[in-house]
Amino acid sequence: MTISVVMDDITDCKVDAIVNAANTTLLGGGGVDGAIHAAAGPELLAACKKLHGCPTGEAKITKGYQLPAKYVIHTPGPIWHGGTRHEKIFLQNSYRNSLLLAEKNGCETVAFPSISTGVYNYPIKQAAPLALNEIHQFMETAKVVKDVTMVCFDEQTFAAYQAALANLDGE
């Protein structure tokens, strides 16, 4: 079982499932959400409309359509409000519930973006270790999921996840 950190475009990942940092409507938006919707094609939006949204921290799954990934797991992460509105718990739930859905759907390989650290303003220095700890804990008992990749979009995010991974390995 492996956890890795790469700098890449998540829409190019050839994995069983990519995770979409969605909004609660699941109807597309900016950032990674918009990129995934654009790359997957209009079938993704049609499938998401049938899901009737998703609460923050929960996760729902669709096919990947025109993406190289078989599935897209949609999870709305929390909007940062200074840490006063249970953002940490919601972010942990986003990662855990996405992995549970991957496991339930037979996904051995999963690629995550950095959830909530873009337009939702979750501080990357807090989000990266939280995300990797949550993934690591899940992997200790996972039956199906074997390989999780954090796919970073920019240098700052990549550096934060590399540092968090190094600290994780050092435990």
- pLDDT per position as a tens digit, 38-82: 999 999 999 999 999 999 999 999 999 999 999 999 999 999 999
Q: What digits encode the pLDDT tens for the residues 85-127?
A: 999 999 999 999 999 999 999 999 999 999 999 999 999 999 9
One-letter amino acid at 134 equals E
Catalytic, 169? Answer no
State which residues form the domain around 8: 2-169
pLDDT of 171 higher than 70: no
Residue position matching structure tokens 């609460």: 55
Count Cβ atoms below 10 Å from residue 125 Cβ, excluding itself: 12
CATH number, position 100: 3.40.220.10
CB-based contact 78:87 (threshold 8 Å): yes
- Please give the tally of structural domains in the chain: 1
Query: Which position among 8, 16, 33, 147 bears the catalytic label?
Result: 33
Q: What are phi and psi of 21, to 5 degrees?
A: -75, 85
User: Does the pTM exceed 0.85?
Assistant: yes
Q: Using alpha carbons, list the distances in angstroms from residue 20 to 28, 33, 50, 171.
A: 10, 6, 17, 29
Spatial contact of 40 and 22, defined as CB atoms under 8 Å apart: no
